[in-house]
A and B are shown apart, each in its own frame.
Chain A
Amino acid sequence: MLDDPQRTNANKAVLDLFSAHTGLPIGLYEKRGDEFKSTFPESSLEKFEHHCKLIRQTPQGKEACNNDQCMRAAESFVNAKPQLTSCYAGIWNQALPIIVNDEVQASLLLGEMLIDDGAHMRETMEKHRQAVEMLGLSAEEAANLRDALGEVKKQSLDKLQEFREKLLPIETYLYTLIHREKSMEHEQEKVVHELQTRLTAIMAHSENIAMEATTLKPRQIREMAQSLLNSAIAMTVVVNNLGDFRQSYLFKREKIRPLFIEAWRVYNAEAMERNIKFHINLSPLDGREPEIELSRRHMELAVNNLMHNAIKYSFNGNVKRDRFVEVEGAPEGIYYRISISNYGVGIEQSEIDNGLIFKDGYQGVLTQGENRTGSGKGLSFVKSVIDRHHGSIKAESNKMGSKHEFFGEPHLTKFTILLPITQPKQEEPGNG
């Protein structure tokens, strides 16, 4: 696995090759928060034009150059397309944004050069005159700068187009490779964060019981032990989402209600922290408490995932509006329909339409900011369980109007599951 300095070195090596190929200095600009991190290989530093070195020798010139480069990198992030621009001193650069998954990841700045045609040279000469004035150069310094300008490499527009067409796809590919591990590292970080947080609760509950058992009342010890158990179950859910470690499906007729009551109990501490109220209303099936054929172990994990999502993506903190998780159920032909609704962070319609939210490892656009610790694996697991039960699951998420400055626009999100009351008969192995 590459660490950050190794990634920087790999980027430098690629830039070296490009710089050797084009004969031009090349820098890479990456966004870090509101600032830009620039990477220049040694070979590029050697290729900096004498003209630009002269300007950088003056304090105003150095500052103006740095600001100018960052501004052009920033512009290419916003415009998301290659652009040829001249700096305040009339030297041209070509900014090539590296776009991966429709998002600008970084920008290559290719230059310093003059463009070999009339219009571009006229712009250069005009800006050069203004720069000499702005920098307050003496007559001798101005003459030296003028001589240095004449030595700056000239490029044709055709050559620049060739660089753009050949270099940009290669750099985009190599940049993606260099940074793929980093994005995997972020994914792992999220999963580890989720596991370690659960583990923290388990360890803390355990130590509290061990340290305080002699001074507590039996009821208090029972409550703490129950909290410990809840934390352990919640951790089991996270672990099971990571891979297919479950036993084979064993279908039996089971009551539905206890699955949801149990899930609510497991995540009760988190729900209380967010002031979430829980409502459950399951209509009878054939006049009795609803029971359907299901694989209890798998359905427990699926329900826990859905309930935890509903709690996790309810707004927390200083939000005045009431928050709730509501479970409703009713028979529908040969199926029993169950819906789980919550009020809070929603799902984009496009993510629902193209099924992205049930894709393994996918984290919803609106939930990325709200909860960075989600692994993006829960809903994919839920769908696999529902599919295996010959059922279906669909999501709806509708905006609720009022906007919160931190959480954005609240949504009413509802997952609706249809589960067969009786599982279809399986063909015996070897029957056909």
Chain B
Amino acid sequence: MGKKIVWIEDDLGIIRPLVRPLQNAGYQITTYSNVPEALKNMDIIRAADLLLVDLIHPTGVDNHQPHFPGLMFIEKIRKEYRLQKPIVALTVVTNAEALGQLEKLNVRVENKPILPSRLKVVIEKELGIE
């Protein structure tokens, strides 16, 4: 049984070429295109071995969402749901405050663009796969 990865990313059509090689390598990937959709599926998130999260997301009609909804999601996962599983943030964000928060939340940050081979190495390292 392959490791389970949940990927929250609004540009799913664009990141498919990153998903495919991971599926070929045996990973089971579940994707959500926004944070509320992901939060509705906490059972699947709890069962995942690793989470991949984009920081910049659609916020829907809720205008009170913070600037980086992905960060808000990660905070919920760590603080409210107390899940300590590996999280990798894939982002172009350079905001020092946001990056500082991610570090405190024990999240690995990888910048876009990223090659599939690099992403696979990062995932393997986070999952402790030699």
Contact = CB atoms under 8 A, between A and B. Distances in A.
Contact of B11 (A197, A271, A405): A197
- Judged by DSSP, the binding face of A is helix
Nearest to B38: A317
Interface residues of A, number: 46
A116 interface: no
A369 B114 contact: no
Contacts of B63: 368-369
A273 interface: yes
A198 B17 CA distance: 11
Interface stretch (A91-99, A158-166, A204-212): A204-212
Contact of A204 (B60, B96, B115): B115
A408 to B, nearest CB: 4
Pick the most buried of B14, B15, B59, B63: most chain A CB atoms within 10 A of its CB. Answer: B14
Interface stretch (B45-53, B65-73, B81-89, B122-130): B65-73
Interface of B: 10-18, 20-21, 32-34, 36-37, 56-67, 72, 92-97, 111-117
A186 B96 CA distance: 13
Interface in A192-224: 192-193, 196-205, 207-208, 211, 224
Given A197-B92, A368-B63, A373-B10, 8 more contacts: A186-B67, A197-B11, A197-B112, A200-B14, A201-B17, A204-B15, A274-B13, A406-B61
A198 B14 contact: yes
A170 interface: no
A407 interface: yes
A423 to B, nearest CB: 36
Nearest to A195: B92
A227 B65 CA distance: 34
A370 interface: yes
Given A201-B17, A269-B13, A371-B10, A406 B36 contact: yes
Contact of A201 (B14, B56, B93, B94): B14
Contacts of A34: 64
Contacts of A387: none
Contact of A207 (B58, B72, B117): B117
